[in-house]
């Protein structure tokens, strides 16, 4: 099998593959990015999602369900979006309280004595604080307007609350939804996890950490199918280990018993679990794909175009060398034709100049006689060794017949031999051609400055100039008046 891409592209690709352990970095990156984004989006509940019956949605990473005791994290972020406004309306023995959030407005019911000055059993402000926790729960989960009585809190319930003795209170709604509220008046000064970091950020960080571990694992995995299978098993173990960690962390944040959380963990986020498996499968599909393309444990010799002597680094290093210890010792080599890098042209600093790529060597013009004198320093600039050969500072005569064909180039390129042709040798310099025959084919660059003014004027004859059509268009009447400078000065 031979790669169909160009040699230059192939060499680059081989280097890339080497850098990413034989995996296509674009494919790898695409899977990771898409996985990250989708996992995050799928895991976060969409705004306004309708919960299933019995499922009131999620808050702070905790799934709220009827008949289940839950703890609502009560932190400063919740208070930002919520304020409570007592209403004058009464229904039976309950006062209504309008609650506004950024997006919602709804009403819950409170015993009126909570809002009568002078007669509250407890400080109303505390109840407001407590209630904001309830509001947050409900505004994130259920359509309050559809069933307001579900969250009515009766006076009896409040009177039973031993607020001074507990850090949290438990309420039971009429449909048996049990809600535990932290008590604001007895809060500890120590900052808990929820205050330090919103749960969504904590979740995202853990997710990134987990993915980083997946990437690190695959980094060391060769394209051996058995090794890949083992790694897949490791990946799954890791996945479940992280599920436990998630539940542990969020259990601490919520105050929910760990066992209660872990018992329900796996059955809920099916989309998230599915995506995790997809990501893992994608990562391990890479070695599988390479295996299918190249065959098991094969090795071929790369076809090397050895047209020049520069050794390419990509040849000496096998592609995706097996770094994992279980891997077969035999190196695997990509089925790619590797062309060695072209020999770089020597730079002027190295003492060797070459004409540009588009330069075409021209023959001397017949019938043109005479010379132009080139300063010695021009020769030395191109051939530093000439300093020892050209013994005097006298300019070097160069035959015009060699210069004229290149007049349109702004720079004349001649070989040492063309300049120091036997018939053109200046006695002052002896015969440089005889000094060092190795210099015969060395190129000498002569800028226009050193010959242009010495070339007879007639040799610059342009011949017939054909003006472009746009120059021949008729004048516009009064166009001489169109003078930007005169108009404005």
Partner 1 sequence: MATLNYATREINCKLVYYGPGLCGKTTNLQFIHQRLPGGKRGDLVSLATPGERTLYFDFLPIEMAKINGFKVKFSLYTVPGQVYYNATRKLVLRGVDGIVFVADSQWNLMQENLDSLQNLEGNLSEYSLKLDDVPYVLQYNKRDLLDIAPVAYMDYLLNPRGVPGFESVATTGIGIFETLNALCRYVIRGLVHRVESGTF
Binding site for partner 1 (CB under 8 A): 407-411, 447-449, 452-453, 460, 462, 465-471, 473-476, 479, 481-485, 487-489
Cβ proximity to partner 1, 306 vs 483, nearer residue:
483
Cβ proximity to partner 1, 369 vs 408, nearer residue:
408
- What is the number of other CB atoms lying within 10 angstroms of the CB of residue 324? 15
Cβ proximity to partner 1, 317 vs 454, nearer residue:
454
Minimum CB separation from partner 1 for residue 40, in Å? 36
| Residues present in the chain in total | 489
Of the candidates 338, 341, 344, the residue with the CA atom closest to the CA atom of residue 315: 338
Minimum CB separation from partner 1 for residue 356, in Å? 9
Cβ proximity to partner 1, 164 vs 358, nearer residue:
358
Minimum CB separation from partner 1 for residue 241, in Å? 50
Minimum CB separation from partner 1 for residue 480, in Å? 8
H helices of 295-406, in order, are: 313-316, 376-382, 400-403
Minimum CB separation from partner 1 for residue 450, in Å? 9
Cβ proximity to partner 1, 189 vs 466, nearer residue:
466
For tokens 């021209």, the residue is 362
228 close to 287: Cβ distance less than 8 angstroms: yes
Beta-bridge partner residues of 411 = 447
Minimum CB separation from partner 1 for residue 394, in Å? 22
Cβ proximity to partner 1, 174 vs 449, nearer residue:
449
- What is the number of other CB atoms lying within 10 angstroms of the CB of residue 73? 24
Element (H, E) at 261: helix 258-265
Minimum CB separation from partner 1 for residue 488, in Å? 5
CA dist., res. 70 & res. 181, Å (int): 9
Cβ proximity to partner 1, 277 vs 365, nearer residue:
365
The values of phi and psi at residue 333, to 5°, are -125, 135
Q: For residue 87, give every residue at least 6 positions away whose Cβ sits within 8 Å of its Cβ, in sequence order, or none.
A: 95, 96, 97, 98, 107
CA dist., res. 390 & res. 395, Å (int): 10
CA dist., res. 413 & res. 420, Å (int): 14
């Amino acid at each position: 099998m031979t790669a169909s891409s160009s040699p230059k592209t192939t060499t680059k690709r081989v280097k890339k593959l080497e850098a990413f352990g034989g995996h296509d970095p674009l494919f790898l990156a695409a899977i990771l990015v898409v996985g990250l984004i989708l996992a995050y989006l799928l895991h976060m509940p969409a705004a306004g999602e309708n919960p299933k019956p019995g499922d009131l949605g999620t808050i702070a990473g905790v799934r709220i369900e009827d008949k289940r005791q839950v703890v609502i994290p009560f932190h400063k972020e919740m208070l930002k979006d919520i304020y409570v406004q007592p209403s004058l309306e009464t229904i039976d023995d309950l006062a209504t309280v309008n609650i506004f959030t950024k997006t919602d407005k709804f009403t819950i019911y409170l015993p009126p004595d909570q809002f009568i000055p002078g007669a509250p059993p407890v400080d109303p402000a505390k109840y407001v604080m407590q209630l904001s926790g309830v509001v947050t729960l409900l505004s994130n989960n259920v359509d309050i307007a559809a069933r307001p009585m579900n969250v009515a809190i009766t006076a009896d319930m409040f009177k039973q609350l031993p607020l001074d003795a507990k850090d949290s209170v438990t309420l039971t709604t009429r449909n048996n939804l049990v809600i535990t509220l932290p008590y604001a008046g007895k809060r500890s000064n120590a900052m808990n996890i929820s205050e330090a970091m919103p749960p969504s950020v904590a979740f995202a960080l853990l997710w990134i950490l987990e993915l980083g571990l997946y990437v690190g694992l695959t980094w060391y995995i060769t394209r051996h199918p058995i090794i890949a299978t083992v790694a897949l098993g490791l990946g799954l173990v890791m996945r479940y280990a992280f599920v436990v960690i998630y539940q542990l962390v969020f259990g601490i944040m919520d105050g929910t018993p760990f066992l209660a959380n872990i018992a329900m963990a796996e059955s809920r986020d099916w989309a998230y679990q599915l995506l995790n498996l997809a990501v893992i499968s994608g990562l391990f599909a890479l070695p599988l794909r390479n295996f299918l393309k190249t065959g098991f444990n094969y090795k071929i010799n790369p076809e090397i175009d050895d047209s020049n002597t520069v050794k390419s680094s990509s040849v000496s290093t096998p592609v995706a060398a097996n770094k994992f210890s279980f891997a077969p010792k035999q190196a695997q080599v990509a089925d790619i034709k590797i062309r060695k890098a072209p020999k770089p042209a020597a730079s002027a600093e190295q003492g060797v100049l070459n004409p540009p790529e588009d330069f075409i060597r021209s023959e001397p013009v017949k019938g043109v006689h005479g010379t132009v004198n080139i300063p010695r320093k021009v020769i030395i600039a191109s051939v530093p060794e000439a300093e020892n050969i050209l013994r005097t500072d006298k300019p070097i005569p160069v035959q015009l017949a060699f210069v004229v064909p290149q007049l349109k180039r702004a720079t004349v390129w001649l070989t040492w031999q063309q300049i120091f042709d036997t018939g053109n040798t200046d006695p002052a310099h002896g015969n440089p051609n005889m000094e060092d025959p190795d210099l015969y084919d060395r190129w000498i660059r002569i800028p226009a400055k050193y010959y242009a003014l010495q070339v007879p004027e007639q040799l610059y004859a342009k011949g017939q100039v054909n003006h472009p059509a746009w120059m021949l268009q008729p004048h516009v009447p009064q166009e001489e008046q169109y003078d930007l400078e005169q108009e404005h000065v």
